[in-house]
Structure 1
Amino acid sequence: MPNFAHTFPLFSTTYLSSPFPIFSNRVLSLPHRLRLHHLFTNLSTFILLITLVNKFTHRIEVVPVSLNYPHTMVLSMEKWVGKVAVVTGASAGIGAAIAKALVESGVIVVGMARRTELIEQHGEDLADKPGKLYACKVDMYNEEEIVNGFKWVEENIGPVNILINNAGSSKDTTLYDGSTEDWKSVFDLNILALCIATREVIKMMREHEINGHIVHINSIFGHRVPSFGMHVYPASKFAVTALTETLRQELNSIGSRIKVTSVSPGVVQSELTTQSPDPQKREFYASIPILRGEDIADGVVYALSTPEDVQVHELTIKPMGEAN
């Protein structure tokens, strides 16, 4: 057993408070810390957890320290620095938050949307970050514009390494007396646009021999149907869940190393929820636990940060206190 009290002065302290529920929030003596060490080494991965308690803020920080034991998973965005990512629906909400997080990580991002003036403004705001944000005007309802948009990216920015399929919509239209045009609008954007963008990017990745990553921004309503009216929206997101697994199987069948991840958020602050023009909707979404776009961006960065032999297939993100 290494002498941690010698290596890390913090371990010379007789007691260390524990944030782990398995210890019932009791004070840990040195023998308890040694048993915690044995627990991690038995898992073939040792991570030293140092608990730091700020006496002024009472904030607890858990600091992982790798000691180069085998099979330690290292999360890093370094492999994507200087690479090209496309984020659809990047003008606001989740898409804008993801684009920002990627630029801050050193990624060259192309935001696809109709409101390119908003993306250009975001790009100016991020001018001092290590990456860069470009705007590409694309109507994601139009297949020709999608195809031409990816051609423009390849010819002017570079081949795509990351695709974030974020563009999506919902319509207040019931199944018993709804508008066919509204149904079609939801399915065209949430399903067909996602498929078209994915196809174009995979063709590009295979041509350039890129082991890229495709992320579908799904929803918890792609796994269960809510009790409040979402109409055809859950059906469109259930399709995304199926398409994620179908794509994973298809990529495996051709020996591809391209990753695919579904990120399924709970309700998120956006133009469809807290910023809706409908006052009743705004009031409803203000009354329930809700996520921020930045929370989803953090989840996307986590999935992208995993090593090449690790694939996050499904990531569900819910706000604390969500009822269902």
Structure 2
Amino acid sequence: MDTFLHQVAVVTGATRGIGKAVTLALLQQGATVAGIYHSNHQAVKQLRQESGGTNKLHLFQCDVADETQVNSFFAAVERQFSAIDILVNCAGIRRDAVLAMMKSEDWRSVIDINLTGSFLMAKQAVLLMMKKKYGRIINITSPISYLGFAGQANYAASKAGQIGMTRSLAKETAKKKITVNCVSPGFIETDFLHGLPKEQLDGYKALVPMRRFGTTAEVADAVLFLAGRNAGYITGAVLEINGGL
């Protein structure tokens, strides 16, 4: 399919987990993808292999929490592509600890990458999208934003902040034909779950009415729906992909 033919998409966290699935799905539907990764060069190599070596995949190393690096990235994108159509903010980290014992740097790093990173990327993306008077911004948030799990105050705060930012930005850009939405995945089979004790995983699965974890492909399908032209009247929304959590 060529649903996104002649469109340019920027994806953060593009080489792993949900970001990787979104990147591959966009490529399969004809998009040119400028993907951002932080430091995992092995994951870059793996993504290139899985994409079949297509010349529509362009990967950039960038710290989304660093404004200088983000601005340099968008300057490079503008030189190469002139404008963009889609931004998907997938980059995210966790640094779990109960709040009373949480290190200040772990609070800041999660807020900086998950929330400030989304802000910095969206800020520059809007400026490029305005050149076309068209755009789709999708932020990957989490049900933790309203459920609040013990040991994840920083993560919950960052994800709740993404939703608030999304709804405000949606109102600012609606007249410019730029939509801004969230996709909120529940428990998904990614690195975020790897390494957890079986008892903990079983406990998480028991919380899900469907009694299974989701797949990255299922999340990518939701992202591509909101990124498409047919979703032009949806903005400021949060699409839950959580098995009924």
Query: Structure 2 length as normaliser, TM-score?
Result: 0.88
Which structure shows the higher helix fraction? 2
Contact persistence 1:102–1:109 (CA under 8 A): yes
1:129-278 mapped onto 2 (5 Å cutoff)? 132-206=56-130, 208-226=131-149, 228-252=150-174, 255-273=175-193, 275-276=194-195
Contact persistence 2:136–2:227 (CA under 8 A): yes
Name 1:303's counterpart in structure 2. Answer: 226
Of 47, 52, 60 in structure 2, the residue corresponding to residue 122 of structure 1 is 47
Name 1:99's counterpart in structure 2. Answer: 23
Measure how far apart 1:77 and its partner are.
6.4
Contact persistence 2:179–2:232 (CA under 8 A): no
Name 1:20's counterpart in structure 2. Answer: none
Instruction: Give the root-mean-square deviation of aligned CA atoms.
Output: 2.2
CA-to-aligned-CA distance 1:7-57 (integer Å, 9 cap, x gap): xxxxxxxxxxxxxxxxxxxxxxxxxxxxxxxxxxxxxxxxxxxxxxxxxxx
Change (3 A) 1:204 1:125: same
Measure how far apart 1:209 and its partner are.
2.3
What SS does structure 1 have at the residue aligned with 2:234? Answer: coil
Change (3 A) 1:110 1:119: farther
Percent identical across equivalent pairs?
27
Measure how far apart 1:181 and its partner are.
0.3
Contact persistence 1:116–1:136 (CA under 8 A): no
Contact persistence 1:89–1:113 (CA under 8 A): yes
Contact persistence 1:161–1:210 (CA under 8 A): no
Name 1:31's counterpart in structure 2. Answer: none
Partners in 2 of 1:125 and 1:81 — Cα distance? 20
Contact persistence 1:88–1:95 (CA under 8 A): yes
Partners in 1 of 2:180 and 2:128 — Cα distance? 15
1:75-114 mapped onto 2 (5 Å cutoff)? 78=3, 80-114=4-38
Partners in 1 of 2:41 and 2:76 — Cα distance? 15
Query: Is residue 2:232 matched to residue 1:315?
Result: no
Q: After TM superposition, what 4+ stretches of structure 1 lie above 6 angstroms from structure 2?
A: none
Partners in 2 of 1:247 and 1:272 — Cα distance? 28
The one-letter code matched in structure 1 to 2:58 is: Y
Name 1:59's counterpart in structure 2. Answer: none
Q: Which runs of 5+ in 2 are unaligned?
A: 206-211
- Look at both structures and tell me which one has the larger radius of gyration over its CA atoms: 1
Partners in 1 of 2:29 and 2:107 — Cα distance? 37
Query: Structure 1 length as normaliser, TM-score?
Result: 0.67
What SS does structure 1 have at the residue aligned with 2:147? Answer: coil
Measure how far apart 1:306 and its partner are.
4.6
Query: Number of aligned pairs?
Result: 236
Measure how far apart 1:230 and its partner are.
2.0
Partners in 2 of 1:298 and 1:180 — Cα distance? 36
Higher relative contact order (CA 8 A, sep 6+): 2
Name 1:284's counterpart in structure 2. Answer: 200
CA-to-aligned-CA distance 1:189-243 (integer Å, 9 cap, x gap): 111010000000111111x2240100000111123323x4323211111111111
The one-letter code matched in structure 1 to 2:19 is: G
